[in-house]
Amino acid sequence: MAARQYHLKFGPSAAASVDAYAEYKRIVGDDDGGVMFTPEQYEAYKKRVLPMRMKNRIFTSWVNPEGMDCKLVGPETLCFCNHRYRQHKTDFEVLPQDRPILLPCKVKGCGCYSYEYVPLNGSQSIRCTCKHFTEEHAAMSPHRCKNGKCGCSGFHSSYTCGCGNPYSSHHMLVETKDERLARGHPVGQDVPYQAMGGLTGFSSLMDGYMRLDPSGIGAPSQEFLEQPITASDHPFLRANVTSIKAHKMQQRALKGQPSGSEVDEDLAERMSAMRRPGETDMDYFERRYQERQKAERQQSRARVQAARQQAVGRRNPPLKPAKK
């Protein structure tokens, strides 16, 4: 039996209506109780809530011992109680003075007294050392196991974050805008949407160890960005090595700096990356590996020597000329 086909026709204003509804849900969330506000109720809600959100926004993140925001919590991020962040209290007429700031769950019957992020292992919940998932533990701390035959006294996981620290060393941080600025982390723009948590831009959707802003691993060093392109780099860089080198040589020429050494290094790297007659795959990779090891050792020696020279300079300051 052939499947039925439906042809839906939408008017020219359909896209605008969808956008208006999406805007409505971002602002109101579940505060309407499942029944949409009337236009008058919607305007009254915005007049009451939006100034409060713009002034008293709070930022929620899951932080490691080094202060990196490994996870910036957003509206749809799940809590240990298995409810979304937007289903917790995030709007405050007056910012609380007590620390930590508690964000209780608004779902009726839920015992969660404050939002607590729990990471996922892919699309699956992480396990406790008792082999049960997070859903099989109580929402209230210390999250005892619900399995009656299990002797687990609280949730403890061996999960390791991408930053290299274990789950147990992380903690929830709920902070105000001023407190976040004092840590040197970005706050983004003031937005009227509900439960934005720690989101400040598209990069906030990435984990901390992949994020290059101050809240993550940070921007790479100038030395890393200016290191020479080798055969082990990305094919895009190797394909554009000629134009990149030409640009660098032009910049050095404008500054009046010699560029001969730059060309020599590039030619040496290109010649080394070429296969030699009679060289097998294993011989080629071993030779390239040994060359990289040698280059790394030379760079390490140069850094140590520079550090020693700086230390000697600090211990032996230049003598002041004798007064006549």
The reported pLDDT for the residue numbered 242 is 72
On average, the pLDDT of the chain sits at 85
Q: How far is CA 257 from the centre of its chain?
A: 39
* Model confidence pTM above 0.85: no
Tokens of 168: 């147990």
CA 37, CA 43: separation in Å to the nearest integer? 9
pLDDT in tens, 257-301: 665 555 556 656 666 777 778 888 898 889 888 888 888 888 888
List, in sequence order, every beta strand (DSSP E) within the chain.
Answer: 58-63, 69-72, 120-121, 124-125, 171-176
pLDDT in tens, 166-200: 999 999 999 999 999 999 999 999 999 999 999 99
**Mean pLDDT, range 17-22, rounded to an integer:** 90
Please say if the pLDDT value at position 1 is more than 80.
no
pLDDT in tens, 105-135: 999 989 899 999 999 988 889 999 999 999 9
Please say if the pLDDT value at position 75 is more than 90.
yes
| Number of helical (H) and strand (E) elements in the chain, helices listed first | 8, 5
Q: Are 60 and 174 in contact (CB under 8 A)?
A: yes
